[in-house]
Structure 1
């Protein structure tokens, strides 16, 4: 039975975001293009997913769209005029591709003050921008669109009457926009919790149905069916289902091996909901019971994750936080017999990199590796603030061909990952519903959960 989960679409949310961004851009109008459609092969297109920046500021999901937000003063109050260029209604195309919002819908449902067919963009933009000396636009994302834009402004030199105006100053809105997106508001947190809950349903399903003899792709199908039943239209990224030694390939996505008794299976997968993604990893025994060697590695990773979670709070720097994980993993690797000597020496020499090759975590939001800076423009590490959402995902990997790994650990790969919201007093685990204690994992895998 599927769950009916819906997002309440409120144009005021997007209007407020646009205004907040414009207030930081020094009076420059904002120009933003929707994500283009992409051919996969032949005449088959990839499934469309809106550009995250565009959706964040409009809530509009259709391709071939452009946002133009022009600052205005309403008395003493700052406001702006929103113009959306969209695909016009087209009865024949809608028979093939589905309903279009059209220009009326852009005004009625998405809060635009004006809306025009996308075919009129060139002519109308030329007229609107004639006297602008600034424009906020992210150059480089779409070279063809950039060239068209510069072509518009180059006409200033050949128009009548000639005003000897140069190309407007182009201001990049992305630093300010990404800083906004990095700190989630209450509306975003609510959506991300739904994405986390759906993801939990999928991971719990996978643990409950996994058994020796299944193929990784069969387990993937069970998990992703739970995502769809939960109301997620798509994954946040390609699912990783890595059994046995495949878990030691960090971004393994072939998912075609037949799982055996005695294997661990590492699943790194997240459902997307409302254009926000979860990102969770769980590692569990296919037959329901950890071996002693697997249990030792798993427990080591879990201890490090818990310690790093306790450290995630406002004021903690990203650099100190990631170093904490590496130092703690060095201690665990010494206990497992994978390293020798002192933990401090192993940390300084990066000896742990033979078994831990990635970072501790990353921002999470509309993109699975979400936007946001890890350093200030001066090169100093950022400190965490309330509203940030991050993953915590330590791991240990002992590939079968890693001669530095103890023999009894070779073939074992473990990662444990959850999604944390930084709060005023510390943090909140959005994905805590997914079991990760050994006793709870085994109980679920054995049908006792």
Structure 2
């Protein structure tokens, strides 16, 4: 991916207010699919709030991140809003959002507002958030079923109970309250698990930006630089190339810090001879990338580092080959685990028959996590991994990470050369009709390619 900066200063184009994308069509299409699924299940209404701003300390707030399900169906990025979908009456798609407030917008930024929301988001109608409690019971009247986030947030649960009670008090007026309440998250997850074309395009862009950032960091790494400096380079490159920011707190772990799976302090000075493990991805239009690379700070793998790295890379290649339509999701993990255990036996770090070692879970000492997870609007995206105890079957449009690793803590039975080495290699894979496509291979994984990149090649 190339990024060109203008030679002369100009006024940058402003993003659409309350949205990351000015085109509401993909979100309207998803609402239509959800409404059809609701109709097939007996019809009714779906209620969904977005997130609220959270205070960090005193009058400072954490950066706001919208609820992923809410964004999936609306494209709306402001806090404090509710979506209503109905199968049985018009309007079918309604937003409750904050009113325009010029004084508040002077401090906190523009709001889309009630008057513009319906047209901008391709909804049927929009109302002020101040009208939510008075209008919602009437909108829910005659709903046979209701889908809502249940037992998730105390304030949301209280509001749902309030509306339910209001409906039950109207039975004498001939209004029948909903007969069943279902989990809206589970319904939406069925659709989010298989990505549409718009989502795939966003994931591809997110992956390309993250890959560029990883390459940039590898090229500036040297002994004596700090983990914090590398994190800063990552974050700056994400923003420079158009991402909203990181998809999760970056892991920049040098030396033995890489054996801490979710190390996020990122404060150490990187010594000569150490490996650097970077696990970092960005968000583009809400969609996450998730890349891990491990490379030597001085640009040259040692013998022990090389031996372990080659095992992890072989394990990842085996998992990639197992990621194809019709295969169980667990097949990639099983394939990677076998290669890792075989390699550990060859190095003398484990002893015994491979099948027995796997059955006894002896490898968990060196490989304590799974090989992948779903990826999408959330870095650990929604969707089941098993149904009725059986691994889910991969389908085209699913996106998963493939991330085997090895982590060698110091121990008397481990040769000292291997102590404190942590290695993980992670790519994002789109399941296709014939196999899978890696979205993140713009960052090298082969040892000779890594060393060449760090030399400036």
Query: Is it true that 1:437 corresponds to 2:450 in the alignment?
Result: no
Q: Give the deviation of 1:180 after TM superposition.
A: 0.7
Which has the higher mean CA deviation after the structures are superposed, 268-277 or 4-13? Answer: 4-13
Query: Is it true that 1:427 corresponds to 2:436 in the alignment?
Result: yes
Query: Is it true that 1:382 corresponds to 2:392 in the alignment?
Result: yes
Which has the higher mean CA deviation after the structures are superposed, 3-12 or 270-279? Answer: 3-12
* Maintained 8 Å contact 2:85/2:93: yes
Q: 1:404 & 1:41 partners in 2: Cα distance? A: 48
SS of the residue 1:266 aligns to? strand
- For residue 54 of structure 2, the aligned residue among 29, 38, 59 is 38
* Maintained 8 Å contact 1:304/1:325: yes
Query: Is it true that 1:290 corresponds to 2:301 in the alignment?
Result: yes
Deviation per CA, 1:119-173, whole angstroms, max 9, x where unpaired? 0011111222233332111212222122122112213444584548455421222
- For residue 17 of structure 1, the aligned residue among 30, 38, 41 is 30
* Maintained 8 Å contact 1:337/1:406: no
Q: 1:9 & 1:331 partners in 2: Cα distance? A: 51
Q: 2:399 & 2:393 partners in 1: Cα distance? A: 13
CA RMSD for the aligned pairs?
1.9
Unaligned 5+ segments in structure 2 are: 6-11
Q: 1:242 & 1:86 partners in 2: Cα distance? A: 42
Q: TM-score, normalised by structure 1?
A: 0.94
Provide closer, same or farther for how the CA distance between residues 69 and 157 of structure 1 changes in structure 2, counting only shifts above 3 A.
closer
Q: How many residues align?
A: 441
| Number of the residue aligned with 2:190 | 179
- For residue 339 of structure 1, the aligned residue among 344, 347, 350 is 350
Deviation per CA, 1:357-389, whole angstroms, max 9, x where unpaired? 10000100110000011111x222111000000
SS of the residue 2:132 aligns to? helix
Unaligned 5+ segments in structure 1 are: 74-78
Query: Is it true that 1:69 corresponds to 2:82 in the alignment?
Result: no
* Maintained 8 Å contact 2:91/2:125: no
Deviation per CA, 1:174-231, whole angstroms, max 9, x where unpaired? 2221121011111111110000000011100110000111110011111211111111
| Number of the residue aligned with 1:396 | 406
Deviation per CA, 1:67-96, whole angstroms, max 9, x where unpaired? 0111148xxxxx972111110011100101
Q: 2:49 & 2:37 partners in 1: Cα distance? A: 20
Provide closer, same or farther for how the CA distance between residues 157 and 277 of structure 1 changes in structure 2, counting only shifts above 3 A.
closer
Provide closer, same or farther for how the CA distance between residues 236 and 326 of structure 1 changes in structure 2, counting only shifts above 3 A.
same
Q: 1:80 & 1:311 partners in 2: Cα distance? A: 46
| Number of the residue aligned with 1:407 | 416
Q: TM-score, normalised by structure 2?
A: 0.93
* Maintained 8 Å contact 1:72/1:80: no
Deviation per CA, 1:84-117, whole angstroms, max 9, x where unpaired? 1110011100101111000122112101211111
Query: Is it true that 1:418 corresponds to 2:434 in the alignment?
Result: no
Deviation per CA, 1:288-338, whole angstroms, max 9, x where unpaired? 111111011111100110111011101111223322221111101011210
| Number of the residue aligned with 1:76 | none
Provide closer, same or farther for how the CA distance between residues 47 and 156 of structure 1 changes in structure 2, counting only shifts above 3 A.
same
- Where do residues 106-125 of structure 1 align in structure 2 (5 Å cutoff)? 106-125=117-136
Which has the higher mean CA deviation after the structures are superposed, 4-13 or 143-152? Answer: 4-13
Q: 2:97 & 2:45 partners in 1: Cα distance? A: 18
- Where do residues 186-265 of structure 1 align in structure 2 (5 Å cutoff)? 186-265=197-276
* Maintained 8 Å contact 1:2/1:229: no
Q: 1:8 & 1:160 partners in 2: Cα distance? A: 43
